[in-house]
Amino acid sequence: MLSWQIVLIIVTMIGIVLLGCYYLLVSNKYKLSAQLDRYDYLFLIAISLVYLIFSLVNFGEKPSNKIMWSSTNSTDSLIIKLTQAQKSGDLYFKAGVFTGALLIQAQISPSESLVTVARIDPGIKDEPQLKWNSFHFDSPQAISAFYFTVESSNITPYEYQNTQRGIEIQRLALYSPVSQQMPSSVKIGDSSGKDYSSILEKQLSPLQLTNVWFNSAVFDEYYYAAAAEEYLKQWGTVTQAHPPLAMLIIALGILLFGLNSFGWRILANCSGILMIPLVYIFAKRLTGNRYAAMIAAILLSVDFMHFVISRMASIEPFVTLFLLCEYLFLFEYLQTRLNNYGNKAALKNIFVIGLFSGLAIACKWSGVFALPAIILVLIWAYLANGAKPIRLSIALQYILFLVVLPLSIYCLSFVPLYTIKHATNFASFMLETQKNMYQFHTQEALDFHNIYASKWWTWPLVLQPMSMAFVMLDPVSKLSQSVGLLGNPLVWWGTSAAVIALTILLVSPRFRKPELYFILLAIAAQYIPYVFINRLSYIYYFYSVLPLIIIGFAYLVMLLLKLKSKIINWLVFIYIVFCIWLFVVFFPVLSGLNINRDVVYHFLLWFKTWQF
């Protein structure tokens, strides 16, 4: 059962998000730069539904009613009894989370003695959790049963110390080596006699137990989905490289739909869907042009990285969603100050800025990157209003909303971990946790080696994509599944060129508008800090910048539409069509569908560095 503290945190964070959405959707009393009408809402509903349909293709395993076995006690075992003893075969088991070593023992017939056949450590390089595992057994003596037990030894990886040891077994399958058929009779239960026969898979062939995108964890899901489940089990979490809010949100999905790929991915997917109307609203507020906003929403919808990363149990969709909300309301705040709508309207936006700032930072420290933009906009607004003295009561509200509120949200997100760790001093616990995270990024992460690492300047060029999943299902027919993490080249190249063009346009005084200054400031705030980061970096770091450069592209489109040139309009239309077409072409390797490997190799791997 969940502790009341964890339930409280999850409910509180949901309430905060809903409150932010309320402020986002409800009209303000003052006149906004561009209001939404029924045509806007119709478009948003249509594009969101279309995206939802595509995003659920091969999304993840459906929730199951089967009861999985879990244990934290070395005296408790999951027992697989074979009515007919076997000397050889293949044993498959789908694991949940591991915070302790799994000991697999075979009972030899007729002596009934136990022999260790495998010991699976949670710290091994090939992560055993949240996927199918298998081992082949070949014994000179017949085996009558298998025992799955939590290792009683105190020898565990360093990062798993001070966590409760536990293991979860979700499903089991056993096949003879010759016929590849399930033995005629298998009984599964635990040491207390409780029946777990429901977790035995009788209909799936060994080929169907292959780990693919649909049924197992991929990439960082091994850490974030596992950490989310560990929160729910109150086993403690070893994934402390980032603040915990995103993992708590993932935990909510698991709580609702179970420990399966659908459960740990669904709320990230919801974040990806929400970003589409959010980009539309932001672009229309910035440009005042419906068509430019439509183009922005379409480009985000057909971007490869947005589609893939928001279908994973990753922290990136959540921090990017909150950052986008933060920048939107920062822009609204600037509008209220430049148009002299008064302190009440300005403070309303400041409150929401602080709210989403706290949520973003509580997901990932990169949420702090927005801080320079906030400071510069505050100074900009102050000078634009004549640098008038600020009343103490107003100044205190700014401090409350921009400092106290974000820090409170950030600290609140650590309460479940504080409870699970049985810490006694919250201040000391927070200091130690922040120190551990800082050391990870400044020391431990520097020693990592990954073939997919890339420099910040290569990201907009899409030079080093990443492989999230790959499996060759049939070497003969070359049927395979793969999922690549990369940007839609046409979207990334086009929008990046647009940002360069907008920067050049600042040379001309007639283009120096607050809207242009703002979007370039937001892009710079999220992108430039990566120039100074020494640890290994990856192309998906660019994801938090992506919605902003797409909105920048929408601003350039707005300027081009004002020229009323049919040729330019047709060029923009053709560009959008090709972006959509490219998304359709790459869709199998974005969603993990079956595809002939030769097709991928000859038509989709454009450069030597593209390996997925």
Block residue for tokens 């800090």 = 529
Structural domains of the chain in order of their starting residue, each with its CATH number:
4-60+241-428+448-602 (no CATH), 69-212 (2.60.120)
pLDDT for res 27: 44
Q: Following DSSP, what letter does each residue of 370-382 receive, concatenated?
A: GHHHHHHHHHHHH
Can you state the percent helix, strand and coil of the chain, rounding each to 5? 55, 15, 30
> Which tokens is 569 given?
């309009």
The answer to whether the beta carbons of residues 368 and 361 sit under 8 Å apart is yes
pLDDT for res 191: 84
Is residue 533 exposed (0-12), middle (13-18) or buried (19+ Cβ within 10 Å)? middle
CA pair distance 580, 569, nearest whole angstrom: 17
Q: Following DSSP, what letter does each residue of 558-607 receive, concatenated?
A: HHHHTTT-HHHHHHHHHHHHHHHHHHHHHHHHHHT--EEHHHIIIII--S
Pairing of strands 132-150, 77-98: antiparallel
Block residue for tokens 């932001």 = 282
CA pair distance 287, 292, nearest whole angstrom: 7
pLDDT for res 155: 47
CA pair distance 279, 297, nearest whole angstrom: 6
Block residue for tokens 């920062």 = 330
> Which tokens is 85 given?
């003893």
The one-letter code for the residue type at 598 is D
Over the chain (612 residues), what is each successive 10-residue block's mean pLDDT?
A: 55 63 52 75 96 95 80 85 82 84 84 81 70 84 87 55 74 75 76 86 78 89 89 75 91 89 94 96 95 97 97 96 96 92 88 94 94 95 87 92 94 88 88 89 70 91 94 91 96 97 94 95 96 88 97 97 93 96 97 94 92 89
pLDDT tens digits along 89-143: 888 888 888 777 888 888 887 777 888 888 887 765 567 888 888 888 888 888 8
Integer CA distances (angstroms), 150 to 164, 195, 416, in order: 11, 19, 25
Please enumerate in sequence order all residues whose Cβ is within 8 A of that of 407, keeping only pairs 6 or more positions apart, or say none: 358
> Which tokens is 170 given?
């979700």
Closest CA to 249 of 222, 233, 227: 227
CA pair distance 551, 177, nearest whole angstrom: 57
| Kind and range of the H or E run holding 71 | strand 69-71
The answer to whether the beta carbons of residues 80 and 112 sit under 8 Å apart is no
CA pair distance 316, 13, nearest whole angstrom: 17
Q: Following DSSP, what letter does each residue of 264-330 receive, concatenated?
A: HHHHHHHHHHHHHHHHHHHHHHHH--HHHHHHHHHHHHT-HHHHHHTTSS-SHHHHHHHHHHHHHHH
pLDDT for res 323: 97
> Which tokens is 370 given?
């927005």
CA pair distance 272, 416, nearest whole angstrom: 26
pLDDT for res 374: 96
pLDDT for res 119: 82
The pLDDT mean for the chain works out to 87
Phi-psi region of 113 (alpha: psi -120 to 50; beta: other; left: phi over 0): beta
Q: CA 606, 305, 514 angle in degrees (round to 5)? A: 115
The answer to whether the beta carbons of residues 453 and 541 sit under 8 Å apart is no
Integer CA distances (angstroms), 42 to 47, 289, 413, in order: 9, 16, 36
CA pair distance 309, 544, nearest whole angstrom: 11
CA pair distance 467, 485, nearest whole angstrom: 6
> Which tokens is 130 given?
């949240």
